[in-house]
Structure 1
Amino acid sequence: MYIGVDCGTQSTKVVVVDLDNARILGEASRPHQLVEGGNGRREQDPEDWMDAFFGAFAEALANAGIESRTIRAIGISGQQHGLVALDADGKPVHPAKLWCDTETAVENAALVDRLGGEAGCLDKLGLVLQTGYTASKLAWLRATHPEAYRRIDSILLPHDYLNFRLTGEKVAEAGDASGTGYFDTRTRQWRQDVFATIAPELDPGKVLPRLIESHEPAGKITSAMAQQLGLSEDVLVSSGGGDNMMGAIGTGNIQPGLVTVSLGTSGTVYAFSSEPVLSDNATVANFCASSDGWLPLACTMNVTSATTLVRNLFGLELDAFSGKVADAPAGAEGITILPFFNGERVPNLPHATASFLGLTSLNATQANLCRAVVESATFGLRYGLELLGDLARDASQIRLIGGGARSPVWRQIVADVLGVEVICPHINEAAALGAAIQAAWCDEHARGGRTTLASICERLVSLDQDTRTQPDPEIHDTYQEVYRRYRTALEKRHGVTH
Structure 2
Amino acid sequence: MANQQLFLGIDCGTQGTKALVLDATSGQVLGLGAAAHSMISGPNGCREQDTGEWLEAFTQATRQALANAGVDGQAILGIGVSGQQHGLVLLDEQDQVLRPAKLWCDTETTPENDRLLAHLGGESGSLARLGVVIAPGYTVSKLLWTREQHPQVFNRIARILLPHDFLNHWLTGRHCTEYGDASGTGYFNVRTRQWDESLLSHIDPSGRLQSALPELIEAHQPVGRILPAIAAHLGINPDAVVASGGGDNMMGAIGTGNIQPGVITMSLGSSGTVYAYAAEPVVSPQPSVATFCSSSGGWLPLICTMNLTNATGAVRELLALDIDAFNTLVTEAPIGAEGVCMLPFLNGERVPALPHATGSLLGLTTTNLTRANLCRAVVEGTTFGLRYGLDLLRANGLQAQSIRLIGGGSKSPVWRQIVADIMDTTVICTEQSEAAALGAAIQAAWCQSGAQHGLAELCERCVKLDPASETRPVAAHVAASQQAYERYRQHVATL
**Equivalent-residue separation in structure 2 for 1:147 and 1:356 (angstroms):** 47
Displacement of 1:93: 2.8
Matched residue of 1:225: which SS?
A: helix
Matched residue of 1:13: which SS?
A: strand
- Aligned residue type for 1:223: P
Match of 1:18 among 19, 23, 27: 23
Aligned residues: 490
Cross-structure match for 1:455:
457
- Aligned residue type for 1:472: V
Cα root mean square deviation, aligned: 1.8
Match of 2:225 among 220, 226, 234: 220
Match of 1:330 among 315, 318, 335: 335
Contact 1:397 1:420 in 2 (8 A): yes
Matched residue of 2:65: which SS?
A: helix
1:13-56 Cα distance to aligned partner (Å, 9 max, x none): 11100111210101122222233345322222222222222221
**Equivalent-residue separation in structure 2 for 1:277 and 1:163 (angstroms):** 30
Q: CA, structure 1 residues 37+311, in 2 after alignment: closer, same or farther (shift >3 Å)?
A: farther
Cross-structure match for 1:87:
92
**Runs of 4+ off more than 4 Å:** 390-393
Cross-structure match for 1:496:
none
**Equivalent-residue separation in structure 1 for 2:220 and 2:398 (angstroms):** 31
**Equivalent-residue separation in structure 2 for 1:301 and 1:392 (angstroms):** 24
Q: Does 1:487 align with 2:492?
A: no
Q: CA, structure 1 residues 34+337, in 2 after alignment: closer, same or farther (shift >3 Å)?
A: farther
Contact 1:268 1:300 in 2 (8 A): yes
Contact 1:102 1:351 in 2 (8 A): no
Match of 1:262 among 253, 267, 278: 267
- Aligned residue type for 2:465: L
1:331-376 Cα distance to aligned partner (Å, 9 max, x none): 2232222222222222333333222333344433333222222211
Cross-structure match for 2:138:
133
Cross-structure match for 1:111:
116
- Aligned residue type for 2:421: D
Displacement of 1:235: 1.0
Contact 1:130 1:345 in 2 (8 A): no
* Range moving further from structure 2, 305-314 or 210-219: 305-314
Contact 2:276 2:398 in 1 (8 A): no
- Aligned residue type for 2:16: S
5 Å-filtered alignment, 1:197-208, equals 197-208=202-213
- Aligned residue type for 1:174: Y
Cross-structure match for 2:309:
304
Q: CA, structure 1 residues 482+170, in 2 after alignment: closer, same or farther (shift >3 Å)?
A: same
**Equivalent-residue separation in structure 2 for 1:396 and 1:201 (angstroms):** 51
- Aligned residue type for 1:41: C
Q: CA, structure 1 residues 37+331, in 2 after alignment: closer, same or farther (shift >3 Å)?
A: farther
Contact 1:135 1:198 in 2 (8 A): no
**Equivalent-residue separation in structure 1 for 2:312 and 2:95 (angstroms):** 38
1:450-484 Cα distance to aligned partner (Å, 9 max, x none): 21111111111121100000112112111111111
Matched residue of 2:467: which SS?
A: strand
Cross-structure match for 1:161:
166
Q: CA, structure 1 residues 11+66, in 2 after alignment: closer, same or farther (shift >3 Å)?
A: same
Matched residue of 2:466: which SS?
A: strand
How does the TM-score come out when normalised to structure 2?
Answer: 0.95
* Range moving further from structure 2, 150-159 or 288-297: 150-159
* Range moving further from structure 2, 362-371 or 204-213: 362-371
Q: Does 1:365 align with 2:370?
A: yes
Match of 1:441 among 439, 443, 446: 446
Contact 2:266 2:406 in 1 (8 A): yes
Structure 2, unaligned stretches of length 5 or more?
A: 1-5
Structure 1, unaligned stretches of length 5 or more?
A: 494-498
5 Å-filtered alignment, 1:66-465, equals 66-390=71-395, 394-445=399-450, 450-465=452-467
- Aligned residue type for 1:140: W
Cross-structure match for 1:476:
478
1:88-144 Cα distance to aligned partner (Å, 9 max, x none): 343433322222222222221211110122332223212221222111122222222
How does the TM-score come out when normalised to structure 1?
Answer: 0.94
Q: CA, structure 1 residues 412+462, in 2 after alignment: closer, same or farther (shift >3 Å)?
A: same
- Aligned residue type for 2:127: L
Matched residue of 2:45: which SS?
A: coil
1:174-206 Cα distance to aligned partner (Å, 9 max, x none): 001000000111111111111222343452342
1:154-186 Cα distance to aligned partner (Å, 9 max, x none): 111111111112112111000010000001111
1:266-300 Cα distance to aligned partner (Å, 9 max, x none): 21111111111111111111111111111111111
Q: CA, structure 1 residues 435+109, in 2 after alignment: closer, same or farther (shift >3 Å)?
A: same
* Range moving further from structure 2, 232-241 or 302-311: 302-311
* Range moving further from structure 2, 353-362 or 453-462: 353-362
Contact 2:306 2:347 in 1 (8 A): yes
Match of 1:43 among 40, 48, 61: 48
Displacement of 1:216: 1.0
**Equivalent-residue separation in structure 2 for 1:357 and 1:144 (angstroms):** 42
**Equivalent-residue separation in structure 2 for 1:30 and 1:260 (angstroms):** 26
**Equivalent-residue separation in structure 1 for 2:312 and 2:397 (angstroms):** 26
**Equivalent-residue separation in structure 1 for 2:375 and 2:40 (angstroms):** 26
**Equivalent-residue separation in structure 2 for 1:307 and 1:206 (angstroms):** 45
Cross-structure match for 2:57:
52
Displacement of 1:151: 2.7
**Equivalent-residue separation in structure 1 for 2:169 and 2:432 (angstroms):** 27
- Aligned residue type for 1:402: G
Q: CA, structure 1 residues 315+11, in 2 after alignment: closer, same or farther (shift >3 Å)?
A: farther
Matched residue of 2:449: which SS?
A: helix
Matched residue of 1:372: which SS?
A: helix
Displacement of 1:77: 0.7
